[in-house]
Amino acid sequence: MKSKITEKPVSRRKMLQLLAALGITGPAATEILAQSKGGALSPEILKTANALIDQQFSDERLKVVTAALQRNLDQFQIVRDLEIDDSVEPAPIFNAKLR
């Protein structure tokens, strides 16, 4: 029987965990991440994405937003990684009648 292998890119968060397990932290870890394809953001990427959100940020501001957004994406990764059954619909708001 063949085993089913799902290839999934290593997330930035998981990459950092792996690096930490190897004793690589701080600026060294950040540098490795920057060189990896671990989904790290950059101000250039957000500058391009500015058009999508109809707002222009200065270069200086983009650096701040990039770091904050990267942090958020790391925090969300467990939600992105979560596999949810197709039957589960979004609950836009608490609805007592459905509870």
Partner 1 sequence: MANNDLVFQSGRELAAMIKARKISPVELTQAYLDRIAALNPKLNAFITVTKDVALAQAKQAEKDIAAGKYLGALHGLPYAPKDILATKGILTTNGSKVTADWVPNYESTVTERLARSGAVLLGKLNLLEFAMGSGTLSGFGPARNPWHTDYSPSGSSSGSGAALAAYMTPLSIGTDTGGSIRGPASFCGIVGLKQTYGRVSRYGVTTLAWTLDHAGPMTKTVADAAAMLQVIAGHDPRDPTTSREPVPDYSKALTGNVKGLRIGVPKTYFFENQNPESDKATKAAIQKLVEMGATTVDVDVPHAKYAGSAGWIVAMAEAACFHEKRLRQKPELFDPVVRERLEAAKFYSATDYLKALRVRSILQDEMAKVFEKCDVMAVPGGSPASKLEPPETAKSDVKPGSAAPAFRGGNTFIGNMTGYPEIVIPCGFTTAAPTLPLTIGFYAKPFDELNLFRAAYAYESATDWHKKRPTL
Q: Is 37 among the residues that bind partner 1 (CB under 8 A)?
A: no
Q: Number of residues in contact with partner 1, rule: CB under 8 A? A: 42
Q: Which two tokens stand for residue 69?
A: 């957004």
Q: Under 8 Å CB-to-CB from 44, ≥6 apart: which residues? A: none
1 or 88: whose CB is closer to partner 1?
88
| Beta carbon of residue 92, minimum distance to partner 1 (angstroms, whole number) | 6
Class of residue 78 by CB neighbours under 10 A (exposed 0-12, middle 13-18, buried 19+): exposed
Residues lying near partner 1 in the complex (CB under 8 A) are found at: 12-13, 16-17, 20, 25-27, 29-30, 46, 49, 53, 55, 57, 61, 64-65, 67-69, 71-72, 74-80, 82, 84, 88-94, 96, 98-99
